[in-house]
Amino acid sequence: MALMNKHLSRRTILRGLGAAISLPLLDAMVPAFASPSTAAAPLRLAFIYAPNGILMDHWTPPTDGADFDLPRDLPRILAPLAPHRENLLVLSGLTQNTGRALGDAEGDHARASATYLTGVHPKKTNGAGICAGISVDQMAASHVGASARFPSIELACEDGRLVGNCDSGYSCAYSNTLSWRTPTSPLPSEVNPRAVFERLFGAIDENSRDRLKRQRDETSILDYVLDDTRRLGAQLGPSDRGKIDEYLTSVREIERRIQLAENDGGQPAPSIEKPSGVPADFAGYAQLMFDLMAAAFQTGATRVSTFMLGREGSTRAYREIGISDAHHPITHHRGDPELIEKVARINTYHVEQLAYFLARLKSAPDGDGTLLDHSLIVYGSGLSDGNRHQHNNLPVLVAGKSGGQHITYPDETPMNNLHLSLLDQMGVPIDSLGDSSGKLFQ
């Protein structure tokens, strides 16, 4: 890096008509002779949610602690994560007690997602008066969000309304989002990749007519920042120029895939409402959303995100892997081996998309490490056994810089203990959360 009299601001943006592209962390953004603490990249936090529970017999490793040996002890559903063994903590024994009926009878799917990040038993209503709790992601966002363009970003691969009755008298707001800004304010998830792309890279002052013309003509958003890119490149060393080139190439690839999806004539599953710009197959859809989340983390657009692979109670059919059955009904397998096999394939298919995301984060340089080194990625479901709607021993894993362990906690250990630990890692000063009894780790 060539030393400059004035280092580049971390908030530097490439600007042009219809575009405002933030940059990843560059060497020139670190002041000359900065201390290691000054140069450290910020920590990111993401929650990725799999609907309808997970088959625990095919999820839980047979051994505990550091003896957890991949691939020998890697169950079928986790097998796609073998390349990331050293980055995984698989946590067993955690319970979200507030997801149980507690006198409210049916409605486990709505309670599973509503309590997953809030730890608060939701008020049973399908109309006015919805009430849950502030979700962990929003607690983190309120603390660290001021340093980013967006306090948090909420994504999903399945559209879902926030009104009406979706589960035994529970509002759809409980089933279709993880994030609650306040106990009465659920945050809707964005399901359209084009909308996410424009939010991250489109200029605020671009009018809708110009934006539609750009999309119709398939003009790359990078064309609008070409002059700014050249001017900035002239001020940077070879290493930073290489980083910018690699990053903008990835942005263009995301944009190209969105354009292909918008021109695709493929038909969605009958039960899924397909917005513009969504790939026809689930893997392409999920991976595109994961790439957008990675880009948001890489540029510092946000440090907090949630992603629902499907809404709770999802009836998506995964025909691309040979399963035409709706997801939710077959989770009530009642011990039928054929249905169990189909659920296992869906669970594994979801984890394959997680493996893609972790590889994407691991390949992205970020300060003194990679994006994965500077992230806490939580994956799991608000139900363990989808057949019996169990809220104990939930499937949970945390990916980040260090791992390689399977840790089994005592039965009924509050999942809120994990949330408390994650907030502590993010620098959020909270001593207790819901029914928490202490932190799982420091």
pLDDT digits (tens, 9 = 90+) for 216-265: 556 788 888 888 888 888 888 888 888 889 888 988 899 999 988 888 64
Residue 317 counted as domain residue = yes
Q: Is residue 21 part of a domain?
A: no
| DSSP 8-class letter at 96 | -
Note down the domain range covering 108.
41-191+278-425
pLDDT number for residue 228: 86
Q: Does an H or E element contain 330, and which?
A: helix 327-331
Q: Tell which residue, 98, 114, 89, has the closest CA to residue 174.
A: 114
Q: What is the pLDDT of residues 120-169, one digit of tens each?
A: 999 999 888 999 999 999 999 999 998 889 999 999 999 877 778 889 99
pLDDT-derived band at 111 (thresholds 50, 70, 90) equals very high
pLDDT band for position 1 (cuts 50, 70, 90): very low
* E strand spans, 235-367: 304-308, 317-318, 323-326, 365-366
Within a domain: residue 198?
Answer: no
Q: pLDDT digit string (tens) for 269-318? A: 444 455 667 888 999 999 999 999 999 999 999 999 999 999 999 999 99
The CA distances from residue 217 to 44, 178, 193, 263, in Å, are 35, 36, 18, 12
- Rounded Cα gap, residues 108 and 17, in angstroms: 49
Residue 207 domain flag: no
CATH of the domain at 184: 3.40.720
d(CA 44, CA 47): 10
**Domain presence at residue 232:** no
Residue 442 pLDDT > 50, yes or no? Answer: yes
Mean pLDDT value of segment 407-426:
96
Is residue 28 domain-resident?
no
pTM confidence score: 0.90
Q: What is the pLDDT of residue 71?
A: 56
More confident residue, 85 or 65: 85
Look at the block and give the residue holding tokens 């507030």.
98
Distance CA 432, CA 416 (A): 9
The total domain count for the chain is 1
Q: Which ranges constitute the DSSP H helices of 80-237? A: 108-116, 136-144, 172-175, 193-201, 208-216, 226-233
Tell me what the mean pLDDT of segment 76-99 comes to: 96
Give which of 194, 358, 166, 222 is closest to 289, Cα–Cα. 194
- The pLDDT tens digits of the residues spanning 33-63 come to 444 444 568 999 999 999 999 999 999 999 8
